[in-house]
Chain A
Amino acid sequence: MTMLELKAVNKFFNGWQAVADVDLQVAAGELAVLIGTSGSGKSTTLKMINRLIEPDSGSIRLAGEDIRSQPPEVLRRRIGYAIQSVGLFPHWTVEQNIAAVPSLLKWPKARIRERVVELLELLHLPAAQFLARYPHQLSGGQQQRVGVARALAADPEVLLMDEPFGALDPVTRGTLQQELLRIQALSGKTIVLVTHDIDEALLLGQRIVLMDKGRVVQQGSAQDFLLHPASDFVRDFVGQSDVGVRLLGLDTVASRMRPLQPVSGEPIAASATLREALSAFVARRVSSLPVIDAQGQPAGVLHFADLLPVAA
């Protein structure tokens, strides 16, 4: 089922075309990533979905319904929205911030409280500790967790995220990316995320949409982008010299390991990516690695040659 459908959408700013004939379909439960350089029109495209920016032509449908069929405020309460600078209300507590949209929708108080606590737990922020805090008492990563919780609060049909992890340090960003994948797997939310970071796009995007000068240049899976770039621009954007390494980043050790054989040395987790395995081979100067599962039990073995995919 198509959750979100953009058809021939155009947007001009003072005669300059920011978005040109964009067609886009996002299936329900899909995580789509809009990627491009600054000025490529990706953020504008995102903001047209919740009508923060109105398109000049074309149509946008949410769950089959034209988004202009209701007042923008009503539409926006159905759509979660998280941004890079988070934008938590500094004069409201964490609880009040997360409760913002449910309060606008006039949920009963008890239900709001329950939902806030549930979301804090989901984002690994112990409710007892965080409910009454103010945004300035949180670290950058904690603020963005609250920002994501706030966007999810009213159980929206779609979640829009505008470079949500762009301002975070690499470690925190990595953690939150994993959390987003986990939350998406748990909730099955349709998510549209904007980024300029190709690694983030390859990691998160089930569908990646590359934009340039307002147009969609290519869309498809991470594999498509790495193996079949549609143009030199895409090839450059993806980073030609790193394609192999990035391909390895898409698969896990578990997908390539062989049945148990006795191999000595420090083991690698089955859930690690092949990219991490490559790094381990080179750093440890070995040609085979023992693999352990999540419980730490031996699960198999990975040989250096296994990194090469079987011809398909």
Chain B
Amino acid sequence: MRLHSRVRLLLVLLSLAAALGLPLLTYAPNRLLTGQGIALLDLLQGGSGLRWLALLPALPLLLAPWWRPGIWHERLVYLAALWLGAALWWLAGSEATLRAGGEDALARVSFGGGFWLLQLLLLLQLAEALQVLAGSLPRRVLLLLLAQLPLLWLLLSGRLDSLSLLREYHNNQDAFDDALLRHLQLVLFSVLPALLLGGALGVWAYRSARFARLLFPVLNVLQTIPSIALFGLLIGPLAWLGRQLPGLGIAGVGLAPALLALSLYALLPVVRGTLAGLQQVPPAVREAARGMGMTPWQIMLQVETPLALPVFLSGLRITAVQAVGLAAVAALIGAGGFGAIMFQGLSASALDQVLLGVLPVLLLALLVDVAFRLLIARLKGADDHA
């Protein structure tokens, strides 16, 4: 047998190390205590033969590095990684039911380092297989989403409900839903103004080099202020403004300063994206457009905008992903969002509650990123074919 994929071999070796060397789950008598590790082998010894069966797809993955590349092999790897990922979730869920089931149980079963590392490595296996199985970005995204269906089913069927993370969710359900809505508001209403203002500033900076020389130092300085400091700096002026203009809902803490600060952070990448987008429109194209008798507006709408759009959207993608992350910090000045759950968990040293705040932020950032990538790929695709 010849080794065909060093990458896969590395993934397999790391997976073995993670599975054997790190605890898959942790068990604690209550939510505030640090848990004791439960290794994968302990899980297999304790449970029924069904657990061994669930891990069966590990076999093809172990052998995969020595396979000749081929579409059927990749399909098998895809299915095996998908199955194994779901199996780990199921194992965790059923162990949690065993050890900490029941409404009033105080004991908690949480994820250990091995679980996250294995899931990550399986995701990389999926990505490897998708390189061959899916040529285009939309197909790749679709197949990755399909691979999450088993997890979705496990979640909806309640098989994971005894896990500490899900228990935290059920205990904080209202707060979680509020946080989701608030987080989305924070992102949307900070990126949108930044989009309009930043777009305008970018166009202006493009037209006037002198303005650009004034603008960018200011934006750069803004960007270097740590977010917590900026939130703090805005408390004073906004509180004053709130006193001068009562009835507008402006205050030193809460939504207003958070939106303002997040918008300011979003400004630099948007301006830069706009400027870079406009700058990469070939001068010859602009000269031809003028020479043919297009009005400045027609040049802007029909030539510059469509040609600058992909670069502009790349800038916007970074802005939006950054805003999803920064919005978590906004909880510090009482703006809510997932940050609130996170900080609450931190102050109570309840790690799974922290996780309940962090995971959705991560997912949201990933979704925003993928959505923008798909949009940009679509725009570029429209140029190549049609």
Q: Please give the residue numbers on chain A whose beta carbons come within 8 Å of chain B beta carbons, in ascending order.
A: 50, 52, 72-77, 81, 83, 85-91, 93, 100-101, 104, 132, 134, 147, 150, 160
Contact = CB atoms under 8 A, between A and B. Distances in A.
B276 to A, nearest CB: 17
Contact of B288 (A87, A104, A134): A87
Name the 3 nearest CB pairs between A and B, nearest first.
A87-B288, A76-B293, A81-B291
B292 A83 contact: no
A85 B290 contact: no
A285 B162 CA distance: 101
A88 to B, nearest CB: 7
B286 to A, nearest CB: 8
**Residue picked from A75, A86, A89, A150, most chain B C-beta under 10 Å:** A89
Given A83-B284, A85-B284, A90-B383, 18 more contacts: A52-B290, A52-B291, A81-B288, A81-B291, A83-B291, A87-B286, A87-B287, A88-B285, A89-B289, A90-B307, A91-B306, A93-B386, A100-B294, A101-B292, A104-B293, A104-B298, A132-B386, A134-B384
B303 interface: yes
B288 A88 contact: yes
B205 to A, nearest CB: 23
Given A87-B284, A88-B288, A104 B294 contact: yes
Contacts of A52: 287, 290-291
A86 B284 contact: yes
A123 to B, nearest CB: 17
Contacts of B381: none
Interface in B258-313: 282-295, 298, 303, 306-307
Nearest to A134: B383
Nearest to B286: A87
Contacts of B282: 85, 87, 90
Given A89-B303, A90-B285, A90-B307, A100 B383 contact: no
Contacts of B386: 93, 132
**Residue picked from A74, A75, A90, A101, most chain B C-beta under 10 Å:** A90
Contacts of A75: 293
Contacts of A77: 292-293
Contacts of A90: 282, 285, 307, 383
10 contacts: A52-B290, A73-B295, A81-B288, A85-B284, A89-B285, A89-B303, A90-B285, A93-B386, A104-B293, A104-B294
Nearest to A47: B291
A87 B295 contact: no
A150 B291 CA distance: 11
Contacts of A87: 282, 284-289
Contacts of B287: 52, 83, 87
Interface in B62-100: none
A73 B306 contact: no
A148 to B, nearest CB: 12
B290 A86 contact: no
B127 to A, nearest CB: 30
Contacts of B298: 104
Contacts of B290: 52, 76
A86 B288 contact: yes
A251 B240 CA distance: 88
A14 B287 CA distance: 21
B292 A104 contact: yes
Contacts of B307: 89-91
A90 B383 CA distance: 8
A144 B294 CA distance: 20
Contacts of B292: 76-77, 81, 100-101, 104, 150
A100 B298 CA distance: 11
A16 B121 CA distance: 67
A141 to B, nearest CB: 16
A76 B291 contact: yes
A304 B285 CA distance: 50
Nearest to B290: A52
Nearest to B385: A134
A75 B287 CA distance: 15
Contacts of B288: 81, 83, 86-89, 147
A152 to B, nearest CB: 12
Contacts of B284: 83, 85-87
A87 B113 CA distance: 57
A73 B291 contact: no
A101 B386 CA distance: 22
Interface in B328-386: 383-384, 386
Contacts of B286: 87
B347 to A, nearest CB: 53
Contacts of B383: 90-91, 134
B64 to A, nearest CB: 39
B306 to A, nearest CB: 5
A72 B284 CA distance: 19
Contact of A74 (B289, B291, B293): B293
A154 to B, nearest CB: 9
A68 to B, nearest CB: 15
A253 to B, nearest CB: 40
A150 B306 CA distance: 20
A50 B291 contact: yes
Contacts of A72: 293
Given A91-B383, A134-B383, A101 B285 contact: no
